[in-house]
Structure formats: structure tokens, C-alpha cells
Amino acid sequence: MNSRDGALIGKAAQALRPLLDSARTAALCTHVNPDGDGIGAEICLQRYLKSRRIEARIFNTEALPVRYRFLDPAGAVEIFNEADHDAWVRDADLIFMLDNSALNRLGALEPAIRGARGTTVCVDHHNVIEPFWALNIIDEDACATGELVFQIVKALGGRIDLEAAQAAYVSLVTDTGYFRFSKTSPRCHEAAAEMLAAGVSPPRVYQEVYERSSPALVRLAGTALAGLRQEEGGQLAWVTLTREQVLACDAESEDTSDIVNELLAIDGVRVAVLFKELPGHGTKLSFRSKGDLDVNRLAARFGGGGHKNAAGAVLEGSLESVLTRALAPCRELLKQPA
């Protein structure tokens, strides 16, 4: 199910209604290293399913990042482990995959999802349809998967309470860069207005999501930015983080993906990349871009993915070798006209 207009929402609700009417249990999940959109969509949908007396459980492969824990004060989001959860997931009446369709991005959840007896449903706003899912609800025009869930719940006649609205609002603001990325639309702003009317506090959300940085992360960001490099007449900016730098800043557990956003604030920069050396023999790449420069396709070349203007990948190899392999296609990408 894929559409470029609002008719998709109605079709999605029509397809889901009989599944929900007959379901007693549902497992909700998203991709590995869950972000604000995946988490927000999970919690928003869970609130609705529970209102229908469906036992809905969220299973993620990692604990919620600190910045998103305010969305789950009761600790309802569970960290999947095979011993405790595999059988429950396999026996659930419904499986909802949110903000992701790729089975290879399920991590430890993949065997249980593949072996599930229930109906599998993918709800996503990326332009990839995976035939594994029995029902694909894909809306490329949605600014976030959380917005799509929000619209579907309304179409089903569900009530959006404060907790659900707050979760969906986090989806919106994190996936649109606070309404500045290209998928920001009138529908997105209208949804945000409804969420605020439900009681969402923008100052509180901003503080929780963007003002919870640890001293270690701030030190690490300074270390990375001090090594700024620019190429292609200033259009390409990149920074690196070695294992030694991460450990020296005591920032082993910190999410560094937002550091690369600072590079896009430099006048003239159109593509930005953060290279982070990982334990072992790998390097994490965080790509950002402006306008029509599609870094999602670039990341896909390395087995990663994301969005048009924000994507990532993990490559095997030393930091130096990955720099050589990844910077060349970045230069090629910049040959597109501004």
C-alpha cells in the first residue's frame, strides 16, 4: 500500500480495522539503534492498541537513549532477549514494524519476526517496500513514521491522549530537524498543531531531547570539530573520531550522530560526514546533506540507510581505509547542481 496523497490514510485504516478487531496481542518494534521517530511511533501506536484492549508490547534491541526516556516513565519499552521474549513475539497476533522495513536491521529480533505466526504489518515513510510484510503501509510524503501512525489512529477513530501526542511530536521534531528538512509539509504542521492542542509542551520536549548532553559528549564534540576538514571549495566537510579520542573523553556510550549536524551550519557546506572509529575493525559513518543531495542512496552503497538528507552506515576496515572509500562518492555526489 503506497500512495502520494491523503487517500492512503483511509485505506490503511480500512485494512487494519479487521486485523485489530480480531487481535488480542501485538508486538511492536523498530530498527536497531532506535531513534526518535521509531520510538515515538512505537509509543503512540501502543497507547492506541491498549485502548482497544490489545496487549501490546514494545521490544527493542537496545535500551532507550537518555533523551527519549521521558516518553516511557513506566519503563514499558522492553529490551528483547531470546530466552524471555522469543516465544511471545512468535505467538503474537500482530507484528508491527515501525520506521523500517529491512529485515537485516532487526538485529536480535530477526529470527523471532521471521518465525512469527501472526500478521506482519510494516508502517514506514521510507521509499522501500519489503515483500516479507503481509501489509505494507508506506507513505513517502509523511514527514515521520510517527506522523503516519498519528494520522492512522485518528482515521480509526482513536483518541490521541497526551502521552501518544507527545510521542508522535518527538517523531516529528527529530525526523524533520525541528521542521527544517525537505519533508516538512503543511500536513506535518497541522499534525503538530493538533499535538500541541492535546497538551504537548514544546519547551519541555526540546529540553528533554536536545538539552540533555553529558559533559563527555560536549568534550567529544569539541574534539571532533577541532579537526574539521573541508574540500570541494568548502562544499564537503568532514570530521573524525578515533577510539583514543572517544575513550579520552570518557564518551564510550555517547550517541555522536548529532555532532555532524554542526557541520551543516558552516556557510557553503552541502554534504557533511562524521567518521567514528568503532571497537574492533569498523567505522561508523554519519552523513548529512542539504537540498536534493541524497545521502541515503550514498549510505545504501555501504549497506546502510536512512533519509534523503540524513543517513548512516557501518563499514569494516580501518578509519584511514574507510575515509578513502567514502569520501570519493561524496565528491561525486557534489557534482550535482545546487
- Contact between 164 and 39 under an 8 Å Cβ cutoff? The reply is no
CATH architecture of the domain formed by 7-210: Alpha-Beta Complex (3.90)
**pTM of the prediction?**
0.88
| CATH architecture type of domain 215-333 | Roll (3.10)
Integer Cα distance of 256 and 224 in angstroms: 10
**Average pLDDT over every residue of 61-74:** 95
Binned at pLDDT 50, 70 and 90, residue 1 comes out as low
> Which residues lie below 8 Å from residue 283, measured CB to CB, with a gap of 6+?
275, 276, 277, 314, 315, 317, 318, 319, 322
Write out the DSSP string of 119-180. EEEEEE-SS---TTSSEEEE-TT-S-HHHHHHHHHHHTT----HHHHHHHHHHHHHHTTTTT
Alpha-carbon dihedral angle through residues 219, 223, 224, 225, given to the nearest 10 degrees: 100
Q: Is-same-fold flag (7-210; 215-333)?
A: no
Domain boundaries defined on the chain: 7-210, 215-333
Position 3 confidence tier, pLDDT thresholds 50, 70, 90: very low
Per-residue pLDDT tens over the stretch 216-253: 999 999 999 999 999 999 999 999 999 999 999 999 88
Sheet containing 271-278: which strands, arranged edge to edge? 229-231, 236-241, 271-278, 282-289, 310-316, 305-306
